[in-house]
Structure 1
Amino acid sequence: MLILGINAFHGDSSACILQGGALVAAAEEERFRRIKHWAGFPSEAIRYCLAEAGAVLGDVDHIAINTDPMANILKKVGYTLKNRPDLRFVLDRIKNKRERAGIDDELNAAFPDHPMKGKVHYIEHHLSHLASSHLVSPFDESVAVSVDGFGDFSSGAWGVGRDDRIEIDNRVFFPHSLGIFYQALTQFIGFPNYGDEYKVMGLAPYGKPAFMEQMRQIVLAQADGSYALNLDLFRHHKEKIEYEWASGSPVVGELFNDELIRLVGVPKRAKDQPLKQVHHDIAHSVQAMYEEAFFHLLNCLHERHGLEAVCLAGGCAMNSVANGKIRRKTPFKKVYIQSAAGDAGGAIGSAFVVHHQLGIKVKRNFVMDHAYWGPQFSNEEVAALLKEKKSELEAANCIVEGIAEEGELCRRTAEAIAGGKVVGWFQGRMEWGPRALGNRSIICDPRRTDMKDILNLKIKRRESFRPFAPSILREKVGEWFEEDDDVPFMMKVFQIREEKRALIPAVTHVDGSGRLQTVYRDTNRRYYRLIEAFHDLTGVPIVLNTSFNENEPVVCRPEEALDCFLRTKMDSLVMGQWYVARMAG
């Protein structure tokens, strides 16, 4: 049986396909469209997933989409009658719901030669989030938590997952939202683009909690563990905010009003204005407020249910700084967050909900222990590309070698990294989710104090305060970090041991932390062998890992990898068994 899962008409649109209850393929539309956070209908991601399953649209038995236009309908009607928001606000919401209800039309238009025969299932947004974590986790029983901006008129939901069932205990409804709090303050600090919240996380360690008094007047923790906003400071609940999702990069208008500016006591920052210490302090306070509310929720849920495992999803589950503190700030002992915790992951959640709702009496048989679910390309395809681009490579003073033996390829690459080279590393299936996890990565030496500057000068051209990540051999985590845990998807930040920080300055953030990725021989043998070879050379079982891109979505195809290599000052490129080196002179 084939089930197609879809996240559509929202940022990070995506698709996945299940076959017999196991994930076969998953990808975000942005990787094919080459527009960050692409919103709209994910036709190219669907096309890829069908091809990976060896199927056409007419073969699909069920289609699951991670929204239900009828969910929480009484809450919506009651809110509208009570609050009488701007008519444009209401009409905009109606338009969005009509778009999302037309999935069958979109599918048939995108695949006219193979009409849809399967049944469409609309799965409520937060149930999809919860399922995207618990139903693919290694836990038989867990507290499941979804926290984000908004979806289907709520911003959060939580309960308990037991085997293939999820029972939701409570929700936070529109207009209250921890995600909106973080997004609004991200805008206030001068980062206006959709998805810029990670910049606030990167900036926060440079500041102090100087604005906590103000933050606690913005977010109000509730006795039951939930949260509320001081709505006097926001616009989203009564004015038409600019939301642009269709067929492009998402755009979100300003969410806060002048009352919030007065409360904070400093002017909002324009994106082209310099960052000052006050902005560092606001960022620190925003992160601290989020953590205060988040851990209050988790502690209440642990007290209520007494379980040792927690599964997280929703856009706020991408807050790796908070995630890395869960075992220290709450009684939970086990934490699972899949690699696409945000809205993209809803495609997987909705598909697994449908699989289990169909009443097939089989035990859960799938655990997502790696993120490699995207397209892959053969050595022959790479060779053909390199042959086609021979003149451009020669003009860039590059040499091309084929190194068929994996151990030798890893040794040569490790030597280049240890020599200070910046290496593009392209192999296997593309990662699912926003993190580069060793298949579409740029790899460097973490021991060099100047490596962040080199990377920003040569390739990334991004803010200097944003850290780079350490990929580490799993069995070495306890030697280098203060916590010893599995972090396969780079979803947690841990403190690096104090005596080790000077050894890996390029991946040590200003507060001594690192957003690590634990690498396993059985899920990514080649990347593991590369780090192992670097360890043999240097005694350090860690490489600096950043995404293979330059102000664009992470590369998907060999053509994009080669283009990024040629237009930047990257030193070497490894694609499959092919090693491309830019010669000096």
Structure 2
Amino acid sequence: MTAVLGVCSYTHDSAAALLIDGHLVGFVEEERLSQVKHTKDYPRLAVEWLLKRADITPQEIDAVAYNFSGPRYLKAVPRAISLLTSGETRSRAVPRAHGFATVATRTMRRRQALGRMFPRARVRTLAHHRAHQMYAFAASGLPEAAVLIVDSLGETQTTTIAHGRQPVPGRPTVRTLHAVEDPASLGYVYGAVTEHLGWRRGDEEGTVMALAGVGDPARFRSLFARAIRTTPTAFTVDSSVFPPRTLQPGAVRVTPRFVAATCPPRAADEPVEQVHCDLAAALQERTEDVLLHLARMARRLTGSSRLCVGGGVAANCVGIGRIIEEGLFDQVFVPPAPGDSGTAIGASAAVHVSTAQQPLSGIAGECYLGPSWSSPILDWARWPGLQVRRLSEDRASFLAEQLARGLIIGLFQGRVEAGPRALGNRSILASSMSEGVVDRLNAEVKFREPFRPFAPVVPAERAAEYFSLGQDAPFMSMASRVTAKAREQIPAVVHANGTARVQTVTPTQNPFLHAVLNAFALRTGVPVLINTSLNVKGKPICGTPEMALDCLMDSGLDALLLEDWWIAK
């Protein structure tokens, strides 16, 4: 037996994955168990669950794969000297060199700490983008593809283009063809503007993407065209607008020139004004332009007609949708966990492929990878005032009937999803035709901004009736234009920009959710539901029954279907 533990930890979105003889036993983000969103703590609960599931001890782990390489940060230290030549960047030179050297040292110490936890294991550190690349490609199951990774920072890299090949199933290889180094970083810029607009950097970039749909990009278009210039080798970021990062807490990420050209920073509790909407729209438009430029580079460098996209910026579903619309590729794939948490899988896969002969399995096309609670034993007294009964009838038909009546219902079934999207196992479902459902979901259930849209879920075989994407979207990672039928029947899921972040479902992928959709269609004539994550703003997706019941009690949910338990207020 060969056991490889993949770990994402100490930065944000901690997670763990375990391979036994090349098979993915499981994967889960620590926040789904600890209830601390985007936690950077060592994923203790995730690792404990994985070891229990595999029935092994820490002493039986052969290798630990960590998703960062400390020495690689040191490349930025001598390069920081070049900042001294410009008056605009001179003050950042020493802090940048110090910050990258400090993080390099911390990362190497973290490797040592992991070694002490698993005394028989060899701890392998991987270049961050290699872990992203391996996961994005291995999860696709494709025999060959271009691989584009775009994030904020991986050691010193921010963007890489690679070519993935899998001549033998389960034995993927990925070769980097081009890399972009910091300070040219799309993720850094998007996070900086997110923070300037009053939302949490590294958490609420999706809110800014949604805000962009109600703004006019023309107001700040020229600013972003100057600030992020495309070049034959990718793009550059103007340091007079976005100063080079220092990796030190509290460092400002926009310059006075940016503030003067746009607006003062918005506090989180201040109202959202048109200038904020327009700034978000210009940022989003330029992000899409640069992503499209990078996709063209990937097509040219690899010659591939397929594209896999990973990294935090791959969560920008509108940008992914634009790449698809451009028609550069026959197929575009984004894994269910494109951000850093997914690198736990990528790191373990890369180590396994380089050290063992067994093929990888359990990764391609998989998203339901975390814990399940098939028979939860709960002390119902903790949640007084609930009506609880165990269902004996057809659960899918029962749930569809309640949704057709206009109820907003939490769904907790099967294994926890990987990644930031609820895909039918830890979801909140609602009718896409109920009047005022979006306002009610935002104001009373999710407690979030009124301009935020909600995603539709549809059987894959009927998706073309409502969405023009032209390919499956099983992980809710792509925004699609909608058809006239969608505008007429389900306007609640159409955002102000005319798109919807659709999830397509097959009976193989999620039999229960597919059955619910068909049962709902029998009652209403429409096979589309609203699907959003089982949580409220600021909280992680509910990974445990206790978290789901707390969500029911603390929000405007009407009821919760917890496996075969129907729980209503």
User: Shorter-chain-normalised TM-score: which range?
Assistant: over 0.9
The alpha-carbon deviation at position 86 of structure 1 amounts to 5.2
| Larger deviation, residues 347-356 vs 183-192 | 183-192
Please, which of 138, 141, 148 is the counterpart of residue 138 of structure 1? 141
Determine if contact 1:154/1:172 at 8 Å carries over to the other structure. yes
**2:535 maps to what in 1?**
549
Please, which of 548, 554, 562 is the counterpart of residue 561 of structure 1? 548
Determine if contact 1:425/1:439 at 8 Å carries over to the other structure. yes
Once the two structures are superposed, what CA deviation does each residue of 1:71-103 show, in whole Å capped at 9, x if it has no partner?
364x32431343364545444433333332234
Please, which of 518, 530, 536 is the counterpart of residue 516 of structure 2? 530
Once the two structures are superposed, what CA deviation does each residue of 1:427-461 show, in whole Å capped at 9, x if it has no partner?
01111111111111111111123001121232211
Once the two structures are superposed, what CA deviation does each residue of 1:225-280 show, in whole Å capped at 9, x if it has no partner?
x111001222344x56416xxxxxxxxx5311112123x34333232221122221
Determine if contact 1:344/1:433 at 8 Å carries over to the other structure. yes
Determine if contact 2:25/2:362 at 8 Å carries over to the other structure. no
The alpha-carbon deviation at position 399 of structure 1 amounts to 2.4
Which residues of 2 match residues 285-434 of structure 1 at below 5 A?
A: 285-358=282-355, 360=357, 362=358, 365-379=361-375, 381=376, 384-385=377-378, 388-390=379-381, 392-393=383-384, 396=385, 398-405=386-393, 408-434=394-420
Determine if contact 1:478/1:484 at 8 Å carries over to the other structure. yes
**2:236 maps to what in 1?**
228
CA distance in 2: counterparts of 1:566 and 1:267, whole angstroms: 38
Please, which of 196, 219, 224 is the counterpart of residue 215 of structure 1? 224
Q: Give the secondary-structure state (helix, strand or coil) at the position aligned to 1:132.
A: helix
The alpha-carbon deviation at position 151 of structure 1 amounts to 1.3
Q: Give the secondary-structure state (helix, strand or coil) at the position aligned to 1:234.
A: coil
| Larger deviation, residues 408-417 vs 253-262 | 253-262
The alpha-carbon deviation at position 366 of structure 1 amounts to 4.6
Which residues of 2 match residues 466-477 of structure 1 at below 5 A?
A: 466-477=452-463
The alpha-carbon deviation at position 43 of structure 1 amounts to 1.8
CA distance in 2: counterparts of 1:10 and 1:436, whole angstroms: 23
**1:249 maps to what in 2?**
none
CA distance in 2: counterparts of 1:441 and 1:350, whole angstroms: 28
Determine if contact 1:449/1:505 at 8 Å carries over to the other structure. no
**1:78 maps to what in 2?**
78
Task: Return the letter of the residue paired with 2:121.
Answer: G
Determine if contact 2:95/2:248 at 8 Å carries over to the other structure. no
Q: Give the secondary-structure state (helix, strand or coil) at the position aligned to 2:178.
A: strand
CA distance in 2: counterparts of 1:276 and 1:104, whole angstroms: 46
CA distance in 2: counterparts of 1:72 and 1:490, whole angstroms: 33
CA distance in 1: counterparts of 2:186 and 2:536, whole angstroms: 30
Residue 204 of structure 1 pairs with residue 212 of structure 2: yes
Q: Give the secondary-structure state (helix, strand or coil) at the position aligned to 2:140.
A: coil
Structure 2: segments with no counterpart, 5+ residues: 85-91, 167-171
**2:157 maps to what in 1?**
154
**1:32 maps to what in 2?**
33
Distance 1:367 1:38, change over 3 A: closer
The alpha-carbon deviation at position 491 of structure 1 amounts to 0.4
Please, which of 271, 275, 280 is the counterpart of residue 278 of structure 1? 275
CA distance in 1: counterparts of 2:311 and 2:247, whole angstroms: 24
Distance 1:188 1:77, change over 3 A: closer
**1:487 maps to what in 2?**
473
Determine if contact 1:158/1:168 at 8 Å carries over to the other structure. yes
Task: Return the letter of the residue paired with 1:260.
Answer: F
- How many residues are treated as equivalent by the alignment? 554
Distance 1:330 1:77, change over 3 A: farther
Q: Give the secondary-structure state (helix, strand or coil) at the position aligned to 2:501.
A: strand
The alpha-carbon deviation at position 46 of structure 1 amounts to 1.5
Q: Give the secondary-structure state (helix, strand or coil) at the position aligned to 1:150.
A: strand
Q: Give the secondary-structure state (helix, strand or coil) at the position aligned to 1:321.
A: helix
Task: Return the letter of the residue paired with 2:270.
Answer: Q
Once the two structures are superposed, what CA deviation does each residue of 1:487-544 show, in whole Å capped at 9, x if it has no partner?
1111001011123213112211122211011112112111111112111111111111
Q: What is the alpha-carbon root mean square deviation over aligned residues?
A: 1.9
Residue 98 of structure 1 pairs with residue 84 of structure 2: no
The alpha-carbon deviation at position 4 of structure 1 amounts to 0.4
CA distance in 1: counterparts of 2:383 and 2:82, whole angstroms: 65
Determine if contact 2:80/2:96 at 8 Å carries over to the other structure. no
Distance 1:40 1:96, change over 3 A: farther
Q: Give the secondary-structure state (helix, strand or coil) at the position aligned to 1:322.
A: helix
Determine if contact 1:182/1:286 at 8 Å carries over to the other structure. yes
Q: Given the two structures, how large is their TM-score scaled by the length of structure 1? A: 0.91
The alpha-carbon deviation at position 344 of structure 1 amounts to 0.7
**2:88 maps to what in 1?**
none
Distance 1:575 1:518, change over 3 A: same
CA distance in 2: counterparts of 1:116 and 1:273, whole angstroms: 51
Determine if contact 1:17/1:24 at 8 Å carries over to the other structure. yes
